[in-house]
C-alpha cells in the first residue's frame, strides 16, 4: 500500500516530467518558426514531427493506463503490419541502401520489438510473456528477410536488453549508459562530417555508408559553420547542399537527424533535439512502470536514436508517432483493477435515476 506522502511525491515527479516535455516540445516548435522566419525556411516538417510525437505520447499514456499489456501489443502488431503493407512508409525517391527508406523500416521494426517486449514485462503469465518475446524475435527475422541488417541487429539488441533488464536493480545508471551510446554514435557522425577522424576510420565509414552519405554530412557541417546561430532554415538543406543538388534521386536531407538539425536550425536546434531525447529518458527514469519496462523502452528509443544519427528515419511521421507512443506507454500508470467499473457505476446510477 502506498502512503499519501509517497503518492504525492510520485505525482510531483510525473508532473515535473510532463511539464518538461511540454516546454521542450514547445521550444522545438517555436525555434523552427524563428529560424524559418529568419531564412525563409519551411517549418512544416518540424511542426508535423513535434505534433506526431506529442500525439503519440498522449495516446500511449492513455492506452498504457487502460490496457498496459494490450496497448503495446497492438502497437507492435501495427508496426509490423505497416512495414509489410507500406514497404517504403512514404512517397518520394526510393533510397534503400544503406539506410534511407530502409532506415525508416528498421526504425519502425525496432519500435515494434520494444513495444512487444514492454508488453511481455507487463504480463504475469509465463506462456504469454514467452509468446510476446517470440513476437519481438520475429521482428528481427522480418527485418532480415526485408534486407535490413540494421533493423535485424537493432531488434535483436532491444530483445537482449529487455531480457537483461530484469536483473537491473536501478534504472538510473542503465539509462545513463543508453544515453552514452546515443552520444557516442552521434559524435562519430559529427567527427566524420568535420573530417576529424583518422583516415582509416573515415574510409571504413565511407565503405559502409557510401562516400555520398559522408559528403552529405560534410555539406551539413559546412552549412553549420556558415550559420552557427540560426542555421540555414528548416527544409533548405536540399537546395543549399551541392551534393544533394547534383545527385538523383535525392530527398534533400543529409541523412543524419543531428546534422540536419545543425545545418537547418543551428546549435540551438541541436540542443533542443538533445533536450527532447533527454526528456524522454528522464520521463522513463521518473515513470511509475517497473524498471524492466522503462529500460526496454529506453533501449528501443536509444536504438532509434542511433539509426536516426546515421539516416533519415525521423523524417517519417510513422516513426515519430511510434516513438511518442512507446514513450507514453512506458511512462503511463496502469489503472487499478476494477477502476473502470467503479467509474462506470455512478454513471449507470445517474442514468437509472434519469430514466425513472
347 lies in a domain? no
Q: Which residue has the cell 506529442?
A: 54
182/335 Cα distance (integer angstroms): 33
Q: What is the mean pLDDT of the chain?
A: 86
Contacts of residue 284, defined as CB under 8 A and 6 or more positions apart, other chains included, come to 171, 175, 294, 295, 297, 298, 327, 330, 331
Domain total of the chain: 1
Instruction: Provide the pLDDT for residue 11.
Output: 60
356/222 Cα distance (integer angstroms): 75
Cα dihedral across residues 73, 74, 76, 77: positive or negative: positive
259 lies in a domain? yes
2 lies in a domain? no
340 lies in a domain? no
Sequential pLDDT tens for the chain (356 residues): 444 454 555 566 667 888 999 999 999 999 999 999 998 899 999 999 999 999 999 999 999 999 999 999 999 999 999 988 875 554 444 444 433 455 788 999 999 999 999 999 999 999 999 999 999 999 999 999 988 889 999 999 999 999 999 999 889 999 999 999 999 999 999 999 998 888 777 777 777 778 888 899 999 999 999 999 999 999 999 888 888 777 655 667 888 999 999 999 999 999 999 999 999 999 999 999 999 999 999 999 999 999 999 988 888 899 999 999 999 999 999 988 655 444 444 444 444 444 44
Cα dihedral across residues 228, 195, 274, 234: positive or negative: positive
The candidate with the shortest Cα–Cα distance to 49, out of 324, 304, 331, 296, is 324
CB of 119 within 8 A of CB of 69? yes
User: What is the domain extent for residue 101?
Assistant: 7-333
DSSP state of 322: H
Instruction: Provide the pLDDT for residue 338.
Output: 59
Upstream peptide bond of 249 is cis (omega within 30 degrees of 0): yes
Tell me the per-residue pLDDT of 93-115, one tens digit each, with 9 for 90 and over: 444 443 345 578 899 999 999 99
Upstream peptide bond of 205 is cis (omega within 30 degrees of 0): no
3-state helix vs strand vs coil in the chain, percent to 5: 80, 0, 20
180 lies in a domain? yes
Please write down the HEC assignment for all residues of 45-104. HHHHHHHHHHHHHHHHHHHHHHCCCHHHHHHHHHHHHHHHHCCCCCCCCCCCCCCHHHHH
Instruction: Provide the pLDDT for residue 269.
Output: 96
149-165 and 126-145 are packed helices; what angle lies between their axes, rounded to 10 degrees? Answer: 160
Instruction: Provide the pLDDT for residue 132.
Output: 97
354 lies in a domain? no
Give pairs for 170-177: CB < 8 Å, separation 24+. Answer: 170/291, 171/284, 171/285, 171/291, 171/294, 171/295, 171/298, 172/285, 174/295, 174/298, 175/281, 175/284, 175/285, 175/294, 175/295, 175/298
DSSP state of 334: P
The candidate with the shortest Cα–Cα distance to 299, out of 76, 24, 113, is 113
Tell me the per-residue pLDDT of 262-290, one tens digit each, with 9 for 90 and over: 999 999 999 999 999 999 999 999 999 99
> CA-based angle 170:176:181, to the nearest 5?
135
Q: How far is CA 353 from CA 344, 345, 349, in A?
A: 14, 12, 6
Instruction: Provide the pLDDT for residue 75.
Output: 97
Instruction: Provide the pLDDT for residue 199.
Output: 75
1 lies in a domain? no
Instruction: Provide the pLDDT for residue 13.
Output: 66
141 lies in a domain? yes
Amino acid at each position: 500500500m502506498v502512503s499519501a506522502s509517497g503518492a504525492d511525491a510520485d505525482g510531483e515527479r510525473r508532473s515535473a516530467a510532463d511539464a518538461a516535455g511540454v516546454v521542450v516540445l514547445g521550444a522545438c516548435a517555436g525555434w523552427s518558426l524563428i529560424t524559418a522566419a529568419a531564412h525563409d525556411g519551411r517549418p512544416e516538417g518540424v511542426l508535423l514531427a513535434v505534433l506526431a510525437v506529442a500525439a503519440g505520447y498522449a495516446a500511449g499514456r492513455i492506452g498504457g493506463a487502460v490496457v498496459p499489456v494490450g496497448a503495446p501489443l497492438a502497437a507492435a502488431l501495427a508496426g509490423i503490419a505497416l512495414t509489410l503493407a507500406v514497404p517504403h512508409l512514404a512517397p518520394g525517391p526510393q533510397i534503400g541502401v544503406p539506410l534511407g527508406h530502409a532506415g525508416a523500416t528498421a526504425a519502425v521494426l525496432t519500435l515494434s520489438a520494444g513495444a512487444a517486449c514492454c508488453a511481455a514485462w507487463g504480463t504475469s503469465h509465463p506462456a504469454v510473456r514467452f509468446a510476446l518475446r517470440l513476437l519481438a524475435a520475429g521482428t528481427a527475422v522480418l527485418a532480415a528477410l526485408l534486407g535490413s541488417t540494421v533493423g535485424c541487429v537493432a531488434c535483436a539488441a532491444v530483445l537482449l536488453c529487455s531480457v537483461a533488464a530484469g536483473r537491473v536493480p536501478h534504472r538510473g545508471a542503465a539509462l545513463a549508459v543508453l544515453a552514452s551510446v546515443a552520444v557516442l554514435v552521434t559524435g562519430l557522425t559529427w567527427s566524420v562530417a568535420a573530417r576529424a577522424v583518422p583516415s582509416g576510420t573515415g574510409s571504413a565509414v565511407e565503405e559502409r555508408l557510401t562516400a555520398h552519405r559522408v559528403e552529405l554530412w560534410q555539406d551539413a557541417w559546412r552549412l553549420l559553420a556558415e550559420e552557427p546561430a540560426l542555421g540555414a532554415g528548416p527544409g533548405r538543406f536540399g537546395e543549399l547542399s551541392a551534393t544533394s543538388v547534383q545527385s538523383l534521386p535525392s530527398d534533400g536531407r543529409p541523412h543524419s537527424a543531428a546534422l540536419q538539425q545543425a545545418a537547418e536550425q543551428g546549435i540551438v536546434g541541436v540542443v533542443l533535439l538533445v533536450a527532447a531525447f533527454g526528456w524522454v529518458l528522464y520521463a522513463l527514469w521518473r515513470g511509475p512502470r517497473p524498471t524492466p519496462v522503462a529500460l526496454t523502452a529506453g533501449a528501443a528509443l536509444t536504438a532509434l536514436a542511433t539509426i536516426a544519427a546515421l539516416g533519415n528515419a525521423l523524417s517519417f511521421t510513422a516513426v515519430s508517432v511510434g516513438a511518442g507512443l512507446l514513450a507514453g506507454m512506458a511512462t503511463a500508470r496502469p489503472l487499478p483493477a476494477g477502476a473502470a467499473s467503479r467509474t462506470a457505476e455512478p454513471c449507470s446510477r445517474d442514468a437509472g435515476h434519469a430514466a425513472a
